[in-house]
């Protein structure tokens, strides 16, 4: 597996693994033993960056990662996230107060069976807590050896600068794909300037860009969050098929599947981008990872981007109340 650098010296595999869907937010929950076996396969294939969060479950995803990967911590890196109030097994709001961050870290370390979190993200900005205070708390945790690197999720350029002034940021995690390219406008110039890496989640559009979803696809609520996303109504799924067809045509011309096109395009945008596709199937894991070895001229990727830019995507990423 090829390697890339996030931030100042954090070397990881060119593709990471998003663990969330292994038991949270993606419909029917697969057998735990099969998921642990899949995690082991990812390690065998050279994946070194594994992403989870306390809110996934809550807690069950970190527990799965801890059980499945605790024997490999000498060769991989674990990313997790804080930032929510969790009561009676449910997230009930944002909370990034210093004492909450410390409590979250201690419990995450326990569930993950590790002494140090490699990359700790604030999951979402808490408007009640200045970002400088959040960054300062993580800075102290880094000094104490409980965290190695600091990251933020879904933030604007001003927030990145303010946090980075207190504690160097290693990576920003946000949604980014051929379906959602907005980070390029405001975020990428700042990341380039400050030497910060970028970790796209939902790099294949929550499976939409694989071509496996159509207007007749059934999503299984309540454990599949796509049920409530405007982009995944039957009407919008049908309207956005023009995007999938564009990927299929490009892939047919270059000997690639739609997921390989989606991931290959991301990797071709910047050398400091490390997508974290998730899956519950070994065949899809291998398909995704092979995109790191795709060799296509940058001019071809640019043509694909230009073709996609002419398509208007129907449906917002999130419902209005979640924006």
- Which sequence spans correspond to the domains of the chain? 3-322
Average pLDDT over residues 168-182: 98
Please give the average per-residue pLDDT across 4-16, as a whole number.
97
Read off the pLDDT of residues 196-207 as tens digits, 9 standing for 90 and up: 999 999 999 999
**Which one of the listed residues 24, 56, 176, 201 is annotated catalytic?**
56
Record the pTM: 0.97
* Mean pLDDT within 107-133: 98
According to the model, what pLDDT value does residue 50 have? Answer: 98
Q: How far is Cα 118 from Cα 115, in angstroms, rounded to an integer?
A: 10
Q: In the predicted model, what is the mean pLDDT of the chain?
A: 97
Residue-level pLDDT at 320: 80
**Range in 89-93, 113-117, 149-153, 232-236 with the lowest mean pLDDT:** 89-93
Is there a catalytic annotation at residue 56? yes
User: H/E element holding 197?
Assistant: strand 197-201
The share of the chain scoring above pLDDT 70, in percent, equals 99
Tell me which DSSP letter residue 192 carries.
Answer: H
pLDDT of residue 239: 98
Q: So what's the pLDDT on residue 323?
A: 55
Residues forming a β-bridge with 96: none
Mean pLDDT value of segment 15-35: 95
Q: Tell me the per-residue pLDDT of 222-257, one tens digit each, with 9 for 90 and over.
A: 889 999 999 999 999 999 999 999 999 999 999 999
pLDDT band at 28 (very low <50, low <70, confident <90, very high): confident
Please state the CATH superfamily assignment of the domain spanning residues 3-322 in this structure: NADP-dependent oxidoreductase domain (3.20.20.100)
C-alpha of 280 from chain center: 15
Cα(18)–Cα(284) distance, integer angstroms: 13
pLDDT number for residue 286: 98
């Amino acid at each position: 597996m090829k390697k890339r650098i996030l931030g100042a010296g954090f070397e990881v595999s060119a593709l990471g693994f998003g663990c969330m869907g292994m038991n949270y937010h993606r419909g029917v929950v697969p057998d735990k033993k099969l998921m642990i076996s899949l995690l082991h396969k990812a390690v065998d294939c050279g994946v070194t960056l594994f992403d989870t969060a306390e809110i996934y479950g809550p807690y069950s995803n970190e527990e799965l990662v801890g059980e499945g990967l605790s024997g490999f911590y000498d060769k991989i890196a674990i990313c997790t996230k804080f930032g929510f109030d969790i009561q009676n097994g449910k997230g009930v709001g944002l909370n990034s107060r210093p004492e909450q961050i410390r409590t979250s870290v201690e419990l995450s370390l326990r569930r993950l069976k590790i002494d140090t979190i490699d990359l700790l993200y604030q999951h979402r900005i808490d408007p009640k807590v200045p970002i400088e205070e959040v960054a300062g708390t993580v800075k102290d945790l880094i000094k104490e050896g409980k965290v190695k690197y600091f990251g933020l999720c879904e933030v604007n350029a001003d927030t990145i600068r303010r946090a980075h002034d207190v504690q160097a940021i290693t990576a920003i995690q946000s949604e980014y794909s051929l379906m959602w390219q907005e980070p390029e406008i405001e975020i990428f110039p700042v990341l380039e300037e400050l030497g910060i890496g970028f970790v796209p989640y939902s790099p294949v559009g929550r499976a939409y860009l694989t071509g496996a979803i159509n207007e007749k696809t059934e999503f299984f609520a309540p454990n599949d969050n796509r049920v409530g996303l405007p982009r995944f109504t039957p009407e919008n799924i049908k309207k956005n098929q023009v995007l999938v067809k564009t990927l299929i045509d490009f892939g047919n011309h270059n000997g690639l599947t739609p997921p390989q096109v989606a991931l290959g395009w991301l990797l071709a945008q910047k050398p400091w981008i490390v997508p974290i596709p998730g899956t519950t199937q070994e065949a899809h894991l291998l398909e995704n990872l092979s995109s790191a070895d795709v060799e296509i001229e940058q001019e071809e990727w640019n043509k694909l981007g230009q073709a996609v830019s002419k398509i208007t995507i129907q449906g917002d990423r999130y419902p209005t109340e979640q924006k």
